Structure formats: C-alpha cells, structure tokens
Amino acid sequence: MTTSDHRHSQNHSETNNHHHHSNNQNRDEEIDSELLELETALNDIEKAMDKIESQNSTIQNRLRDLLESNRQMTREFTDIRRNMSTAVTSNTLTKIEQDMSSTRDQHKFE
C-alpha cells in the first residue's frame, strides 16, 4: 500500500467513523422522539381510561338509585293493590251481606 493509498484509507476510515457516529446520534434522536410520542400516547390513554372509569362509576351509582327507586315503587304499588283488594273484598262482602239481609227481610214479609 502506498502512502497515498494509506492516507486515502485512513481518511475514508475517519469519514466512516464520523458518519457512523452521526448515524448513531440520529438513531438515538429518533428513538428518543418515538419514546416521547409513545409516552404522550400512553398518558392520553391513561387520562381517557380515568375518565371512562369515572363515568362508569357515575352510571353505576345512577343505576343503583334507579333500581332502589324501582323497588320502592314496586313496594308501594303492592301495598296499594293489597289495600284495594281488601277494600274491594270488604265492599263486596258488605254488598253481599246487604243483599242477603234484604232478601231475608223480603222473605219475612211474605
């Protein structure tokens, strides 16, 4: 190898080293940028999940309230129906007794 070839080879090697270092630095910057984007995306996902969880809790609480209200209304309607049934039965019995009494009274006069 001549001196000129040696110098050319050495310059080429230094250029390659500089180019290699520059490539590594660019790659590191790309990785850092991608990691930052990924971290931002993960933070956004976490915020969205927190919001969904909060809304889910709110919905569950509203459903519990609605269920309890529905149960209370069912109890009230059951009581009303029971009272109406008792009143109807009582009125029916009173009417039957009156009819029977009136029929007896009519038979007495005959």
In this predicted structure, what is the pLDDT of residue 109?
56
Tell me the pLDDT tens digit for each residue of 29-51: 999 999 999 999 999 999 999 99
- What is the torsion angle, in degrees rounded to the nearest 10, for the CA atoms of residue 58, residue 64, residue 69 and residue 74? 150
> Model-level pTM?
0.46
| Extents of the domains making up the chain | 1-77
CA distance 43 to 31: 18
- Residue recorded with tokens 């001196």: 3
The pair of structure tokens assigned to 41 is 């995306």
The pLDDT tens digits for 65-108 are 999 999 999 999 998 888 877 877 778 878 888 888 877 666 66
Q: Which residue has the tokens 């009303």?
A: 80
